[in-house]
Amino acid sequence: QGQCVSESLLLQGDKLSGGEGSRDVRLQVELQLLDAAPVLVPHTPSPGAVVVRPPSSVPGTAQTLPFSPTTDPFIRGFSSGASSGNTPSRGSGPHRLCKLRILISRAENIPEVTNLEGIRTAPSVLVAAKTTRDAAVRAPATSFTSVSPNNCNPVWDEMLEINFRESSMPKERLLLALVNKQTSKLLYKLGIPVGQMQAGRHYNLAIRLREQHAAG
C-alpha cells in the first residue's frame, strides 16, 4: 500500500498563462524514490539525464523531446531558483544516483484557453519534467508524457524516470510543468522537494494548481 505524502510535500503549483476560470485545478501524481547506487555519469551538458521507460503494466506511451529546444521556456531551460551548488562538474566519474519514478496520472478542471486563431478551446496538454540541476545550467527538459488532445480533464497514466545525484538531493526539486501543445506555452508549473522523501516509499500527491494573478 502506498503512503500518503506528508503535508510539506503537498505544494501548490502556479498558473502562468493561457487559461481562465476559478475551478479547482488538480494534478494527480505518484512518486517512488529508489536507493542510490554508484553510476558512471558521462560528460554531458545534463548530468541529471532523464530516462523514459514506461513499464508494460502502465498504459500509455511517454514521449521524448516533442518540441524543439527553442520553443517553450521550460523546455529551453526554465530557472526555478536552483543554487549554484547544484551546477554540474565537468568531466566524468563515479557518482551515486537516486532514481525517481514518476507516475503522471491525470489533471482535472484545466480551464479552456484561447488558441492561435483566437478561439476558446480545451487545451492539448502534456507534462514535462526536469531537475533543478538541469534548470541551473539551462538544460532543456527531456522527459514528457504524451499529449492529451483537446481535454480539460486529461488522463495519462504514464511513467517517467529521472536521476538525481545523491550529493545534491537535500536541495533538489522535481520540476513539473503542464504545457499547452497548441501554443507551446506553460499553463502551470510546480516544484516538489525530493530531499524530504524516503527511499522505497510510495508518495501519492493531489496537487492543487493555484492561479497566479498578474498585475495590470
pLDDT, tens digit, for every residue of 162-206? 998 888 888 899 999 999 998 888 999 999 998 888 888 899 999
Which of these ranges, 29-43, 56-70, 108-122, has the smallest mean pLDDT? 56-70
Task: Tell whether the model's pLDDT for residue 150 goes beyond 50.
Answer: yes
**Please, are residues 186 and 165 in contact by the beta-carbon 8 Å criterion?**
no
Average pLDDT over the chain reads 70
What span, in angstroms and rounded, lies between the C-alpha atoms of 138 and 2?
34
- For residues 56-79, average pLDDT: 38
pLDDT, residue 167, reads: 86
Predicted structure pTM score: 0.67
Q: Return the CATH superfamily for domain 3-81+91-210.
A: C2 domain (2.60.40.150)
Task: Tell whether the model's pLDDT for residue 128 goes beyond 90.
Answer: yes
The larger pLDDT score, comparing residue 108 to residue 93, is at: 108
**CA dist 154 → 40, 124, 126, 178, 201 (Å):** 37, 8, 9, 11, 26
Per-residue confidence band for 115, with pLDDT thresholds at 50, 70 and 90:
confident
Output b/e per residue, 79-112; b: 16+ Cβ within 10 A: ebebeeebebeeeeeebebbbbbbbbbebbebbb
